[in-house]
């Protein structure tokens, strides 16, 4: 059985990645400082002997080294998420997202790791008008969070070139699904919309709602990540659906699926750092490691609502 170090494994995406690794016959070694993760996300695997959880930070090199026995792959999800939070906390965002990523690469170099998979973000593209976004475009980050992900990608490429560490950066596009939190000001739009509908409250849209997003179901992201890890591909790849939807249309769909068509969205001021439109060109991932998304937006929303 192959061991995978999974940073950020108690988070929303990380906990689903843990499940995917177990389902694919891997042993998951989870490192998470619990700043945004929660034990609730991983409790269902607590009795599984193929899952080990070690509370700690990617900024603690000694702690990382203590848990590297038998590890062959690293999936690096740990980060301080959210564009909004990064604008409020740029130094902390850099510390966790950039310095923490550099620590992971040093560990990978020292222990001859077979592959490092880095969770990047569609936010690296910024507001460049070209749609769909493709990997040949020059990154144009609008927030410290986006800049930290672009920096992480650069370090991944540099360690691959300078030291021969196999690395791949996956630019996730607007991931959603069960376990995503709506209980903080940084909550993603889909869990916030679902929570509002459940509570009989009008969902809030920041801006006029015409902005578009390529929403990607978390199980598709898990499949893409594990497939990329198993492949020989290196470099940066978009992970999305190749289809986008406006926030106005998203709100209508969520309200229909929750039976709350009586509610209408309310609108607030646009948030700094948010991009206007996002849509992934996923042809490069398709060609490099044969990945295709399996969920439509409606299928993913239904699964998410059913899990609430």
So what's the pLDDT on residue 184?
Answer: 65
Which listed CATH number (3.40.50.720, 3.90.100.10, 3.40.50.300, 3.30.390.30) goes with 3-175+218-241+281-293?
Answer: 3.40.50.720
Q: Model confidence at 261, in pLDDT bands (50, 70, 90)?
A: very high
185, pLDDT greater than 90: no
Q: 225-249, pLDDT tens digit by residue? A: 999 999 999 999 999 999 999 999 9
Q: 95-141, pLDDT tens digit by residue? A: 999 999 999 999 999 999 999 999 999 999 998 889 999 999 999 99
Q: Kindly name the residue from 73, 125, 145, 237 that is annotated as catalytic.
A: 145
Beta bridge partners of 246: 212
So what's the pLDDT on residue 183?
Answer: 74
Q: What is the mean pLDDT of residues 176-204?
A: 89
Residues belonging to the chain: 308
So what's the pLDDT on residue 277?
Answer: 92
Q: What is the mean pLDDT of residues 19-39?
A: 97
Q: How far apart are CA 271 and CA 291, in angstroms?
A: 33
Residue 308: other Cβ atoms inside 10 A: 14
Lowest mean pLDDT among 95-99, 183-187, 261-265, 288-292: 183-187
Phi then psi for 192, rounded to 5 degrees? -65, -40
Contacts of 179 (CB under 8 A, 6+ apart): 12, 15, 16, 41, 218, 307
Q: What is the mean pLDDT of residues 158-169?
A: 98
Which three-class secondary structure state does DSSP give residue 32? Answer: strand
308, pLDDT greater than 90: no
Q: What is the mean pLDDT of residues 185-201?
A: 89
So what's the pLDDT on residue 186?
Answer: 57
Tokens, residue 283: 């042809």
Q: 45-95, pLDDT tens digit by residue? A: 999 999 999 999 999 999 999 999 999 999 999 999 988 899 999 999 999
Phi then psi for 28, rounded to 5 degrees? -100, 125
166, pLDDT greater than 90: yes
Task: Check if 3 is active-site.
Answer: no
| Residue ranges of domains in the chain | 3-175+218-241+281-293
Q: What is the mean pLDDT of residues 258-285?
A: 93
17, pLDDT greater than 90: yes
Q: What is the mean pLDDT of residues 30-39?
A: 95
């Amino acid at each position: 059985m192959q061991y995978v170090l999974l940073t950020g494994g108690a988070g929303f995406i990380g906990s689903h990645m843990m499940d995917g690794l177990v389902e694919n016959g891997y042993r998951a070694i989870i490192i998470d400082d619990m700043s945004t993760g929660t034990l609730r996300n991983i409790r269902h695997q607590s009795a599984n002997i193929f899952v080990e959880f070690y509370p700690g930070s990617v900024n603690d090199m000694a702690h990382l080294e203590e848990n590297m026995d038998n590890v062959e792959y690293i999936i690096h999800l740990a980060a301080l998420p959210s564009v909004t939070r990064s604008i409020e906390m740029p130094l902390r965002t850099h510390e966790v997202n950039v310095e923490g990523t550099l620590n992971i690469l040093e560990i990978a170099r020292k222990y001859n790791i077979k592959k490092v998979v880095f969770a990047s973000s569609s936010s690296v593209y910024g507001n460049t008008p070209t749609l769909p976004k493709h990997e040949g475009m020059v990154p144009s980050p609008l927030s410290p969070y986006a800049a930290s992900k672009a920096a992480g990608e650069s370090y991944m490429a540099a360690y691959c070139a300078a030291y021969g560490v196999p690395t791949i950066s996956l630019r996730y596009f607007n991931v959603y699904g069960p376990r995503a939190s709506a209980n903080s000001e940084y909550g993603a739009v889909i869990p916030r919309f679902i929570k509002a509908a459940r509570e009989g409250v009008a969902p809030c849209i920041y801006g006029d709602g015409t902005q578009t997003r390529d929403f990607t179901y978390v199980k598709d992201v898990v499949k893409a990540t594990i497939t990329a890890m198993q492949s020989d591909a290196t470099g940066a790849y978009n992970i999305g659906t190749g289809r986008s939807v406006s926030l106005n249309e998203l709100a209508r769909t969520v309200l229909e699926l929750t039976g709350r068509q009586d509610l209408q969205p309310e609108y607030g001021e646009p948030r700094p750092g948010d991009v206007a439109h996002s849509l992934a060109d996923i042809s490069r991932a398709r060609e490099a490691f044969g990945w295709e998304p399996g969920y439509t937006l409606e299928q993913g929303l239904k699964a998410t609502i059913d899990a609430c």
